[in-house]
Amino acid sequence: MRTKIIAGNWKMNTSLADAHILATGVRDGVEHIERIETILCPPSIWLASVAHDIVQKGQYPHLHLGAQNMYYEDAGAFTGEISPVMVKEVAEYVILGHSERTHVFGESIELINNKVHASLAHGITPILCVGEDDQTETSKQIVLDTLRKLLDGVSEEDIKKVVVAYEPVWAIGTGKAATPEYAQEVIGYLREILSSDTRILYGGSANDENAKSYLSQPDIDGLLIGGASLKLKVFLTMCQIADDIGQDLGHQSLHS
């Protein structure tokens, strides 16, 4: 059974004080929510501070830290970037290919593919984002073809380590979330080129009101959460929902 993931992408938000309050609030709130993995992805400037807040001698093995982005070179004259060597000092995950990186900063499929290879080479788990700009009859095929290119050259063994996040661009930050049934349809389609062990998340206007409907779908293994991750009570509620569903699935597998 695939362990569910609740990942919070804070994007370019929080002061240092806000980051500390939010991180410690999540740490304390998920102390006994252990059937899922909770991942916090703060701005890179706060990574070390948040790591200090949540990584305490292995006390919270189900709570992890992720970077929002990275470059694929280990070091060099790349002003403003952070390398996989830097990321792995503090984080276990990195978000790659988020639609805001492709649409606002013009990142290419080739660049993202290089980042995927670099993260895997350094033992960092990529949360690889993929999604379509508009909902059309060809959406599923577009997403599948893009994912193939993003994973070009990645071995079958390494594909098991990748976390894929399906994020329909038309649903991100719009309040217009994809229906759980539509998200399941697309994500189920993506499994054609992925391992059965690969975890696939949904991202796009997910919140505490619709989380259960997504997480109850057979192929949706978690959520990549944007704005709702900045609201402590909402985020913890979503973690609890995922944990409850994980418990139910565990009971079902024991009796099947």
Residues annotated as part of the active site: 98, 167
Q: How far apart are CA 175 and CA 150, in angstroms?
A: 27
Residues in Cβ contact with 212 at an 8 Å cutoff, skipping those fewer than 6 apart: 241, 245
Q: Of 18, 122, 19, 23, nearest to 70 (Cα)?
A: 122
Show the DSSP H helices in the chain as ranges: 16-29, 47-54, 84-90, 99-104, 109-121, 139-150, 156-159, 180-190, 211-215, 232-254
- For the chain, first and last CA: distance in Å? 13
Contact 208, 12 (CB under 8 A): no
Q: How far apart are CA 252 and CA 205, in angstroms?
A: 29
Backbone angles phi, psi at 129, to 5 degrees: -90, 140
Q: How far apart are CA 245 and CA 173, in angstroms?
A: 25
Compute the 3-state secondary structure of the chain and give helix, strand, coil in percent, each to the nearest 5. Answer: 45, 15, 40
